[in-house]
């Protein structure tokens, strides 16, 4: 009897491109060269754009709405390269893996911020997930409408072969987490007691090594919360109608047919379970920049409105699956010679797995 293949079976039988020596050599030839700047989601940090970004990452600090200052990680919404847009190696999956932001000044309301990028480095690494991975690092320099340096940021993705990752099947999970009423009550309580330092200054002289950074919870992750993030961030490849056809004409390997034979971008791994499994992940998962922004939110909550986040370095370590909850935490580790406070920060899911980790440098006010 004839049986129609399931969506998962259809994608599982699809063969994707592999990393070839020729394609890798072509990419290496681009090292140090300027990258064509994709059209950004936003270029001006209007009050609306600031509000949408804060809402997209779940940052409830009213300061961003009233003070004319943007959360520093809004740069993800203002540039696609720092958000994970990669060139070269057509058809090879790109998994966002981290960012190192180095800010020189805050981003004010109505600032026009433009990023200029170069392909900074390529690192060939062994991978438990896909046997081989190419770490592709971009450096983006941001300036505002006054020609002032705003931030320099390194961002990187790991390029992996979809078929290899799927066939190796190294990434295992226990299945979607089921939440009891008590679980949800505990998460609700964490949101209720979230500490936003706000207008009360945190002075550097009052901070000691070992001090905890009050935790921030994120989740449970749902497709709805992914959509909320995209509303503030803008995505990489989500296009509709003629714009989608134009995109796939320019980048044929980007379009992967859906059940109707219509090409859609690989970005749908963030809401499409079958597509996620086709690249070797047990289910749909969040965006890497989202997690970096969550840890940035952790730090800005702690430092207060008078603090300045000077550096944020975050590595994305594991997939954050639909249904997971992330607990963001940190601690003070020291002070730099010029008086900035250093932090260690991380995000841990309900299974006790660290899914993101990094460091931050914060300039706090003096008495």
How confident is the model at residue 91, as a pLDDT?
A: 83
Of 133, 78, 135, the residue nearest 101 (C-alpha) = 78
- How far apart, in whole angstroms, are the C-alpha atoms of residue 357 and residue 367? 31
What is the DSSP secondary-structure string of 179-241? PPHHHHHHHHHHHHT----TTS---GGG--TTPEEEEEEE----HHHHHHHHHHH--SS---H
Q: How confident is the model at residue 1 (pLDDT cuts 50, 70, 90)?
A: very low
Dump strand ranges (E) for 89-130: 93-103, 114-127
For 269-295, the pLDDT digits (tens) are 999 998 888 878 889 999 999 999 999
Position 127 pLDDT exceeds 70: no
Position 167 pLDDT exceeds 90: no
Kindly tell me the burial class for residue 348, based on how many C-beta atoms sit within 10 Å of its own C-beta (0-12, 13-18, 19 or more): middle
Q: How confident is the model at residue 128 (pLDDT cuts 50, 70, 90)?
A: low
For 288-343, the pLDDT digits (tens) are 999 999 999 999 999 999 999 999 999 999 999 999 999 999 999 999 999 899 99
Map out the domains of the chain with their CATH numbers. Answer: 1-172 (3.10.129.10)
More confident residue, 353 or 12: 353
**Helix and strand totals (H; E) in the chain:** 11, 11
Dump strand ranges (E) for the chain: 93-103, 114-127, 131-143, 149-160, 212-218, 256-257, 263-264, 308-316, 326-335, 341-349, 354-363
Handedness of CA 37, 287, 240, 265 (dihedral sign): positive
Cis ω on the peptide bond leading into residue 303 (within 30° of 0)? Answer: no
Kindly list the distances between the CA atom of residue 241 and the CA atoms of 43, 123, 235, 264, in Å, as whole numbers in the listed order: 23, 37, 16, 11
How confident is the model at residue 170, as a pLDDT?
A: 52
Position 240 pLDDT exceeds 50: yes
Q: Is 312 helix (H, G, I), strand (E, B) or coil?
A: strand
For 30-62, the pLDDT digits (tens) are 999 999 999 999 999 999 999 999 999 999 999
Handedness of CA 288, 290, 294, 300 (dihedral sign): positive
Of 220, 158, 152, the residue nearest 184 (C-alpha) = 220
């Amino acid at each position: 009897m004839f049986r129609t293949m399931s969506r998962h079976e259809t994608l599982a039988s699809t063969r994707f491109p592999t990393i070839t020596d020729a394609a890798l050599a072509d990419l290496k030839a681009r090292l140090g060269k300027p990258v064509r700047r994709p059209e950004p989601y936003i270029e001006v940090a209007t009050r609306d754009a600031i509000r949408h970004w804060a809402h997209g990452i779940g940052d409830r600090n009213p300061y961003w709405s009233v003070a004319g200052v943007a959360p520093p990680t809004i740069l993800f919404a203002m540039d696609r390269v720092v958000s994970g847009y990669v060139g070269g190696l057509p058809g090879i999956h790109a998994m966002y893996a981290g960012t190192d932001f180095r800010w020189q000044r805050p981003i004010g309301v109505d600032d026009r911020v433009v990023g200029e990028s170069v392909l900074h480095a390529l690192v060939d690494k062994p991978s438990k997930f896909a046997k081989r991975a190419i770490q592709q690092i971009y450096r983006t320099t941001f300036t505002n409408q006054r020609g002032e340096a705003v931030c320099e940021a390194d961002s990187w993705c790991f390029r992996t072969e979809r078929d290899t990752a799927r066939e190796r099947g190294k990434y295992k999970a226990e299945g979607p987490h089921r939440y009891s009423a008590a679980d949800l009550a505990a998460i609700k309580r964490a949101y209720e007691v979230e500490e936003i330092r706000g207008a009360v200054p945190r002075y550097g002289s009052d901070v000691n090594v070992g001090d905890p950074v009050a935790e921030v919870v994120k989740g449970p992750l749902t497709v709805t919360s992914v959509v909320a993030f995209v509303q503030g961030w803008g995505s990489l490849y989500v296009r509709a109608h003629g714009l989608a056809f134009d995109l796939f004409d320019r980048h044929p390997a980007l379009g992967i047919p859906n059940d109707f034979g219509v090409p859609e971008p690989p970005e749908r791994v963030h809401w499409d379970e079958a597509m996620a499994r086709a690249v070797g992940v047990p289910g749909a998962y969040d965006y890497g920049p989202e997690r970096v922004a969550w840890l940035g939110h952790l730090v800005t909550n702690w430092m207060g409105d008078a603090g300045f986040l000077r550096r944020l370095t975050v590595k994305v370590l594991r997939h954050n699956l639909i249904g997971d909850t992330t607990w963001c935490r940190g601690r003070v580790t020291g002070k730099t010679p010029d008086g900035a406070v250093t932090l260690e920060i991380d995000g841990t899911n309900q299974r006790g797995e660290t899914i993101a980790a990094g460091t931050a440098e914060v300039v706090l006010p003096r008495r």
